[in-house]
Amino acid sequence: MAINEKKLEELLNQYPTKVKRNRKKHLIIKDSSLAHQEIEANTRTIPGIITNRGCAFAGCKGVVLGPLKDMVHIVHGPIGCAYYTWGTRRNKAKSDDPTKNFINYCVSSDMQESDIVFGGEKKLARLIDEVMDIFQPNAITISATCPVGLIGDDLQAVAKAAQEKHGVEIMAFNCEGYKGVSQSAGHHIANNILMERVIGQGDWEEAPGKYPINILGEYNIGGDSWEVERILEEIGYTVVSVMTGDGSYEELKNAHVAELNLVQCHRSINYIAEMLETKYGTPWLKVNFIGVQSTIETLRNMALYFNDPALTQKTEEVIAKELARTEPIIEQYKKICEGKTAFCFVGGSRGHHYQGLFAELGIETVLAGYEFAHRDDYEGRDIIPEIKLDADTKNIPEIHVSPDERRFRLKLSPERLAEMKKKIPLSNYQGMNIEMKDGTIIVDDLNHFETEEFIKLLQPDIFSSGIKDKYVVQKMGIPSKQLHSYDYSGPYAGFNGAVKFAEDIAMSFATPTWNFITPPWKNKPLLEGTIVEGGCSVC
Amino acid sequence: MSRKATNFRDVNENPCNMCMPMGGILALKGLENSMVILHGSQGCATYMRRHIAEHFNEPIDVASSSLNEKGTVYGGEKNLKQGLDNMIKAYRPGVIGILTTCLADTIGEDIDRISQDYLVERGYTDLPVVTVNSPGYGGTHAEGYWLTLRRIVEKLARKTEPHTGINIFVPNISPADIREIKRWLELMQVSYTLLPDFSDTLDRPYQRPYRKMPEGGTPLADIAAMGGAAATLQLGVTLEDSMSPGRFLETEFGVPLYNLPLPMGVTNTDLFFNQLTEITGKKLPAELQQERGRLLDCMIDSHKYNGAGRSVIFGEPENIYAVTRTCLENGIYPVVIATGSKNPQLVTLLEDLLTHSPVRCTVLTEADFATIRVLSRGKANLAIGSSDGRYLSEREDIPLVRYGFPIHDRTGGQRLLSVGYRGTTYFLDQLTNTLLENKHKHYRKSIYQAFYLGINKTLDSAESGGEQHVL
């Protein structure tokens, strides 16, 4: 069912005038006949609107730092923030050295009222000593929560002193929750410090194998990264590091030796991708390992980049083998899913990535959007120069890197780079909007009110988002798929992931559970009677 | 019993508690037609909604004033008022709870003043607003829960004509538990006001069409009448007066307060019904007497298995006190009892309770799981508490019976029934069956070790445990 401007206007008219004016700019009905459709994104959340967005701390500690397994991630602040980021994202990690995998630990300074009054620096310093003693990690991160910045604890100074004392890298992140407008600010803060303090600190000058790559913006939710690595390694790539799913400090240190950086989640990691290009001359490729076709396209783009007939041949062999194995299974599930519609509202990249996978199952995405993306994630990177920097963005420090004197090396000649850029998304991202069909809805920072209204208008068959709206949607009798943490399932990336996803989605539709919603007595008329010829016998 | 009232380390490794506003939200969700707004960064609301939703499998709508850097400098008044505007427009709540977070309290936001101004400015003369200062560093979610209940009563209870109804304040128990307590009161035809009643709001039946505001919750008019009640039964023996809603009703309106433990186990449930019959003059219905008989029958049937149980119990003070008593009644002697709260009252109460336990037990307040784990190692064969105790099973091979909040790795936390004679029976069966399953899982290995290798490995129990452990 299509939705027109009038319907959209009616929906927005339910808002107070000021809110309506604001929200209108975050909503688009896709129309390719227009030269360009602008969407507002990465601006302040309207208070009281029941957003799905989180905070800078969530983006920094929760998303980017959390998955790094050989580091201990200290949360400096009262207990809540540490507790709420304890294992909730389902970013999996395994380690050859079981004494160097701290992924299941939650470490906090648990600040009390007296720490707020007198400052928490001394407690933090003692805590770092204890952490070194208990865990002997390869490195430590310290993430700040709201009160830390307000009371003026100097995290950087504490970290510096501790680093001198213990001789391991100890990094402080000033990612207080009130910074920026969403998780996005925290991604940026984390990217900056990882680039400054970790990446390139290793002593490798050469990669340990052929076709060395880094996978950026892959967080190994439900084992996604493991499936992607399986495919890449079978083709013959050397995965130097993953940022940051199942990643480690030790791997990240040597990430500079890669010949190509793959960017899965553009939003959370594009800063590092860009800086790697400036500093080491390594271009990045926008990839998408969600969906069979996207995975194949990505693999072919990578082969084009490396331009080696043996690699291209192996790529095609693996694609053919995987297709032969997975296609017939997906085909079966497709029969159940065909013709259905979906909403796809997730974080900062999956709102886009999952549309292809849905399409492969015959499911059309009628509404999509991101929680915390910027305009370039919708409209493509070409509009970056047009984006006005507001105060919230300016408060997040920008770092500037310059070419590394020793290690900078152009991986492709300028001519070949220019040629490649025409063929594959090299150091470029076209955004989500371009791939959406006319008449579909694109919405930034969808809230609970709009969720309900759009469901009433468009009646999707499945709603994919996170746990906060999952139960609203299920109470409306519509299956939901958590695309943040996959409802305890996964992986959904690569070939095996596509099969798993198809199975899960088909199960959502085919489960007998939905058959019982209407009780039998609701199907029967309330009064029973027969019509007797010749009228009423009583009167 | 040996006490460990404080954690000697600065690091909190794997926390055993959440923060204050978390408990505040739960309490406010038990009010009819209520909405909650957190004054602070939006991440707080997002995180807590996420965690509550995962436990109850229910929509959890909590607004945020979404303060940002500007707000931290110039104050968050504008954001809070705007947040209230938008929330009221979308939800039309009958009562609003405003909870502060670390951010709002650290910059010293006066939510009382702001909310009063707001109501006057907008002309909402009839809209009750409950404000609670609940910074994350002010206490755990357990304290947030009780303090919010006290603030609700302070704000909404009135001096009214005396009536025969009784007030009941319950700790953070499951919706199924609340429904059970209501069943008894209805069976006994006692008129009551139970706060907070999230038995429907956090465990809604599937119904069409979907309503943004769930039905149920304690009616505001009933809370207003609490001041005239015949008595208050407060299931909160571990409470400080400053957080006790019952104490407030007593000092303010002269409603007699009876502080009782959560009715889990025979003794606690007997205490509850004894008090109730004494106050109301009504008799214990035959149906409940039957249930008591069945619980005793269950206890006798299972005692030979339970006798091998050594438990580690963790969670909120009120709940663990009741669980401890239940364990003691059945010979599942505790070796570690732990809470994330600071609660000297609890330690004193447990000291009394544990006097006659043949097994030495360590009581930890302000505990973390790292400490609990070390102290339980080789001493316990049964863990009872929230799903965060799963590491005790995974790493120490101590099976976990999930009880309390939150339960994130299993479904049905909202349906766990553990109060009263009937609830205790269910709960006890779970404990016993977990012990049996564990025994069955290991018996080949233990027999092999005992008879072929000559290693007689039993739990260290009476003779050791509880001494000062090096962490």
Query: How many angstroms from the chain centroid is the CA of residue A28?
Result: 22
Select from B7, B12, B74, B118 the residue whose CB has the most chain A CBs within 10 Å, as the one to mutate to test that interface: B12
Question: Which comes out higher in pLDDT, residue A257 or B468?
Answer: A257
Q: How confident is the model at residue B466 (pLDDT cuts 50, 70, 90)?
A: very low
Task: Quote ipTM for the complex.
Answer: 0.94
pLDDT of B461 above 50: no
A351's enclosing H/E stretch is helix A350-360
A258 φψ region: left (φ > 0), alpha (ψ -120 to 50), beta (else): beta
User: pLDDT tens for residues B160-170?
Assistant: 999 999 999 99
User: pLDDT tens for residues B419-444?
Assistant: 999 999 999 999 999 999 999 998 88
Q: Would you state the pLDDT for residue A525? A: 63
B72 and A123 within 8 Å at the Cβ level: the answer is: no
Would you tell me which CATH number, out of the four given (3.40.228.10, 2.60.40.1180, 3.40.50.1980, 3.30.300.340), belongs to the domain B166-280? 3.40.50.1980
A54 and B106 within 8 Å at the Cβ level: the answer is: no
Q: Residue A385: is it exposed, middle or buried by C-beta count within 10 angstroms (0-12/13-18/19+)?
A: exposed
Q: Would you state the pLDDT for residue A431? A: 97
Which residues lie closer than 8 Å to A35 by C-beta, 6 or more apart?
none
Q: Residue A156 is encoded by which pair of tokens?
A: 């950087």
Q: Would you state the pLDDT for residue B447? A: 84
A32 φψ region: left (φ > 0), alpha (ψ -120 to 50), beta (else): alpha
- Amino acid letter for position B196: P
Q: For residue A105, give the nearest of B13, B44, B80 by CB distance.
A: B13
Catalytic residue, from A23, A26, A76, A89: name it.
A89
At the top level of CATH, which class does the domain B286-470 belong to?
A: alpha beta
Q: How confident is the model at residue B459 (pLDDT cuts 50, 70, 90)?
A: low
Q: Would you state the pLDDT for residue B3? A: 62
Q: Which domains does chain A have, with CATH numbers?
A: 56-198 (3.40.50.1980)
> Can you tell me whether residue A395 is helix, strand or coil?
coil
Ranges for all domains in chain B classified under CATH 3.40.50.1980: 20-138, 166-280, 286-470
Q: Would you state the pLDDT for residue B471? A: 24
Mean model confidence pLDDT for chain B: 94
The reply to whether A55 belongs to the active site is yes
Q: Residue A345 is encoded by which pair of tokens?
A: 């509202």
Number of C-beta neighbours around residue A208 at 10 A:
10
Select from B18, B22, B47, B212 the residue whose CB has the most chain A CBs within 10 Å, as the one to mutate to test that interface: B47
Orientation angle between helical segments A467-475 and A448-458, nearest 10 degrees: 40
Mean of pLDDT values over B62-72: 95
Q: How confident is the model at residue B468 (pLDDT cuts 50, 70, 90)?
A: very low
> Can you tell me whether residue B405 is helix, strand or coil?
coil
Q: Would you state the pLDDT for residue A401? A: 96
Tell me how far apart the alpha carbons of residues A53 and A56 are, in angstroms, rounded to a whole number.
10
A82 and B15 within 8 Å at the Cβ level: the answer is: yes
E-assigned strand segments in B164-213:
166-169, 192-195
Q: For residue A54, give the nearest of B18, B42, B340 by CB distance.
A: B42
What's the gap in Å between the CA of B72 and the closest CA on chain A? Answer: 8
> Can you tell me whether residue A204 is helix, strand or coil?
coil
Question: Which comes out higher in pLDDT, residue A236 or B449?
Answer: A236
- What are residue A454's DSSP bridge partners? none
Per CB-CB distance under 8 Å, the chain B contacts of A116 are: 106, 135, 137
Q: Would you state the pLDDT for residue B451? A: 85
At the top level of CATH, which class does the domain B20-138 belong to?
A: alpha beta
> Can you tell me whether residue A388 is helix, strand or coil?
coil
Q: Would you state the pLDDT for residue A298? A: 98
B22 and A48 within 8 Å at the Cβ level: the answer is: no
Phi, psi of B263 (to 5 degrees): -70, 80
Per CB-CB distance under 8 Å, the chain A contacts of B84 are: 48
pLDDT of B456 above 80: no
Indicate the DSSP class of residue A46: P
The reply to whether A344 belongs to the active site is no
Q: Would you state the pLDDT for residue A531? A: 65
- What are residue B368's DSSP bridge partners? B15
- Amino acid letter for position B371: T
Q: Would you state the pLDDT for residue B445? A: 85
DSSP letter string over A203-234?
--SS-SSSSEEEEEEE--BTTHHHHHHHHHHH
Positions in chain A short of pLDDT 70: 1-2, 524-539
Q: How confident is the model at residue B4 (pLDDT cuts 50, 70, 90)?
A: low
Closest CA to A81 of B137, B168, B420: B137
Indicate the DSSP class of residue B63: E
